[in-house]
C-alpha cells in the first residue's frame, strides 16, 4: 500500500520527513462523502507518531491541531487499574458461563429496571480504562499504518463542542467485552464534522459507535468493519447485540460502504431526531435485527445488501424509506440528487418503509452517492484496505 507524503494537501518539510523516515509517507487518504463533507481533521499539521499510550492520550486531548499516526498497538489495558464492584446478571443472559454477557451497573442500569425481570446481583471485575473513552479535541487526524494501528482497551469520545475530527484505518478492540457497559469504541455527543473511515471495531462491551443525546450534527461512517464475533453475547449466540446507536438530537449521519457482521441487534438503533442515510452497506449473519427505528428517527436505506439477516427492520416508530421499487425510488431525485437504489436480500427478511415526506430534510445538504448493492464491500471495508 502506498500513500502520498501529503497530510490533507500539505507537504512535509524535509526535516520532518527525515525524522519520521519511511513512515512519513502515510497520511489521510481521500475525503469524506456525505454529511461530513468538508471535514479536514488536523489539516496541514505535520504527522507524528506518539511514543507511548500516555503521549497518544496527551496529543488526542490537547487543543493543538494534529495529524497522529499509529504504526503499532497502543495497549491501555491495566493503565488505570481494575475495578471490582457489584454488577448484575441481566435477564438477557440465559447462558451464564457459556457465552453470556453480564453487566456493569452503570447509571444504575442493573437496578432501574433496564436489566429485565429476574436480574441477579453478582460481583464484576473490569479493566477501568475501558469504560471511559479518551476525550478527543478539535482538529485531529488519527490514522493507522497498514493494519498496524490498534488501540486496545480504550475507546475515543468526541464531545462537548470538539469538532472536525478524522479517524481512519484504526482498529479499536477489547473493551471489557464480557460486560454490558464495558465501554464504547467511539462515542460522539455535541460535536460536528466527524469522519470515521476504514476502521475496525471488535470485542466491545457496549456500542461500537454511539451518538449521544447532544446534537452531533454532521457525521460520516464509511468503509468500516463492525465485527460482532464474540465469546460474550447478550443473545447467547456468539454475536454482539449492542453495535451502532444513533439517537442524538438533530444528528446527520451518513453510513456508507460499511461491513456489519455477526451482530444480533441494534445495528443500528435510531431515534432522537436523527436523519440517517444508509447507503451501500453490507449486513451479514445477523440473527436478530439490523435496523430498529425509534420515534424521531428518519432513515433512507438504499443500495444495501442483507445476507442472512433475520429481520432487516425490527420496528419503525419514526420515518423510513426503504427504496422499495425502481418506480417509487424516483422520488429521491429532488432532494437526494439521485434516484434511490434498490436494496438486495439473500436468505433474509424484508425491509419495509415508504415514508417520503421527510426526504425534504436532505435538500441542500451533502448527500453521498449510491451504486448498485454489492457484497464486495466486505473485501474493502476495515483496516489495511486503503
pLDDT mean over 347-375: 98
* pLDDT tens for each residue of 225-273: 999 999 999 999 999 999 999 999 999 999 999 999 999 999 999 999 9
By the 8 A CB rule, do 155 and 212 touch? no
What is the reported pLDDT for 26?
76
12-39: burial string, b at 16+ Cβ within 10 Å, e else? beeeebeebeeebbbbbbeebbbbbbeb
19 band by pLDDT with thresholds 50, 70 and 90: very low
pLDDT mean over 149-172: 98
What is the reported pLDDT for 25?
66
What is the reported pLDDT for 269?
98
Percent of the chain residues topping a pLDDT of 70 = 94
Q: How far apart are CA 166 and CA 60, in angstroms?
A: 12
pLDDT mean over 311-336: 97
What is the reported pLDDT for 27?
87
By the 8 A CB rule, do 307 and 347 touch? yes
CB atoms < 10 A from the CB of 310, how many?
17
pLDDT mean over 282-308: 98
- Output the DSSP codes for 15-50: HHHHHHGGGGG----S---GGGTT--TTTTPPEE--
Q: Which of 152, 206, 239, 266 is catalytic?
A: 266
By the 8 A CB rule, do 257 and 235 touch? no
Is residue 291 predicted with pLDDT exceeding 80?
yes
Average pLDDT, the chain: 93
22 band by pLDDT with thresholds 50, 70 and 90: very low
pLDDT mean over 197-219: 97
Per domain, the residue ranges of the chain are 1-386
89 part of the active site: no
3-state secondary structure of 127: strand
Is residue 21 predicted with pLDDT exceeding 90?
no
Percent of the chain residues topping a pLDDT of 90 = 92
Is residue 5 predicted with pLDDT exceeding 80?
no
- Output the DSSP codes for 197-245: ES-EEEEESS-SEEE-SS---EEEEES-EEE-B-SS-TTSSSBBS--EE
Q: How far apart are CA 310 and CA 315, in angstroms?
A: 13
Q: How far apart are CA 233 and CA 261, in angstroms?
A: 14
pLDDT mean over 102-125: 96
Is residue 339 predicted with pLDDT exceeding 50?
yes
pLDDT mean over 64-79: 98
Q: Is the peptide bond before 268 cis (omega within 30 degrees of 0)?
A: yes
Please provide residue 378's backbone torsions phi and psi, each rounded to the nearest 5 degrees. Answer: -60, -25
Sign of CA dihedral 352, 357, 361, 366: positive
Is residue 91 predicted with pLDDT exceeding 90?
yes
What is the reported pLDDT for 266?
97
pTM of the model: 0.94
233-243: burial string, b at 16+ Cβ within 10 Å, e else? bbbbebbbbbb
Closest by Cα among 277, 283, 286 to 320: 277
- Output the DSSP codes for 130-144: GGS-EE--SSEEEEE
What is the reported pLDDT for 7?
38
327-349: burial string, b at 16+ Cβ within 10 Å, e else? ebbebbeebbebbbbbbbbeebb
State which CATH number among 2.60.40.1730, 3.30.460.80, 2.160.20.10, 2.30.30.100 fits the domain covering 1-386: 2.160.20.10
- Sequence-ordered alpha helix ranges (H) in the chain: 14-20, 53-61, 333-336
DSSP state of 239: B
pLDDT mean over 177-198: 98
**The three cell numbers locating residue 153:** 482497551
**Residue 249 CB-half CA count within 13 A:** 6
Is residue 219 predicted with pLDDT exceeding 80?
yes
**The three cell numbers locating residue 215:** 446534537
Q: How far apart are CA 300 and CA 218, in angstroms?
A: 16
Amino acid at each position: 500500500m502506498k500513500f502520498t507524503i501529503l497530510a490533507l494537501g500539505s507537504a512535509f518539510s524535509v526535516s520532518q520527513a527525515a525524522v519520521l523516515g519511511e513512515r512519513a509517507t502515510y497520511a489521510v487518504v481521500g475525503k469524506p462523502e456525505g454529511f461530513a463533507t468538508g471535514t479536514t481533521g488536523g489539516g496541514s499539521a505535520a504527522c507524528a507518531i506518539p511514543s507511548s499510550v500516555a503521549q497518544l492520550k496527551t496529543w488526542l486531548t490537547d487543543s493543538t491541531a494534529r495529524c497522529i499516526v499509529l504504526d503499532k498497538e497502543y495497549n491501555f489495558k491495566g493503565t488505570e487499574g481494575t475495578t471490582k464492584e457489584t454488577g448484575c446478571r441481566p435477564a438477557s443472559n440465559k447462558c451464564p458461563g457459556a457465552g453470556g454477557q453480564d453487566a456493569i451497573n452503570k447509571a444504575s442500569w442493573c437496578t432501574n429496571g433496564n436489566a429485565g425481570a429476574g436480574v441477579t446481583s453478582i460481583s464484576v471485575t473490569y479493566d477501568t480504562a475501558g469504560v471511559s473513552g479518551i476525550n478527543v479535541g478539535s482538529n485531529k487526524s488519527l490514522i493507522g499504518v497498514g493494519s498496524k494501528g490498534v488501540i486496545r482497551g480504550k475507546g475515543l469520545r468526541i464531545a462537548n463542542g470538539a469538532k472536525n475530527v478524522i479517524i481512519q484505518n484504526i482498529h479499536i478492540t477489547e473493551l471489557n467485552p464480557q460486560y454490558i457497559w464495558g465501554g464504547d469504541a467511539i462515542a460522539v455527543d455535541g460535536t460536528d464534522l466527524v469522519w470515521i473511515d476504514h476502521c475496525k471495531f471488535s470485542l466491545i462491551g457496549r456500542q461500537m459507535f454511539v451518538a449521544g443525546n447532544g446534537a452531533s450534527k454532521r457525521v460520516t461512517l464509511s468503509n468500516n468493519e463492525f465485527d460482532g464475533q464474540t465469546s460474550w453475547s447478550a443473545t447467547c449466540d456468539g454475536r454482539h447485540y449492542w453495535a451502532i446507536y444513533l439517537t442524538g438530537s438533530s444528528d446527520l449521519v451518513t453510513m456508507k460502504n460499511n461491513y456489519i457482521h455477526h451482530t444480533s441487534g441494534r445495528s443500528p438503533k435510531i431515534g432522537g431526531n436523527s436523519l440517517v442515510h444508509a447507503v451501500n452497506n453490507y449486513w451479514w449473519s445477523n440473527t436478530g435485527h439490523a435496523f430498529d427505528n425509534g420515534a424521531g428517527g428518519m432513515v433512507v436505506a438504499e443500495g444495501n445488501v442483507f445476507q442472512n439477516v433475520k429481520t432487516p427492520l425490527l420496528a419503525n416508530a419514526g420515518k423510513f424509506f426503504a427504496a422499495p421499487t425502481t418506480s417509487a425510488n424516483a422520488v429521491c431525485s429532488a432532494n437526494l440528487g439521485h434516484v434511490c437504489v434498490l436494496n438486495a436480500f439473500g436468505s433474509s427478511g424484508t425491509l419495509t418503509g415508504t415514508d417520503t415526506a421527510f426526504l425534504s430534510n436532505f435538500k441542500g445538504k451533502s448527500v453521498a452517492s449510491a451504486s448498485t448493492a454489492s457484497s464486495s464491500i466486505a473485501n474493502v471495508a476495515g483496516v489495511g484496505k486503503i
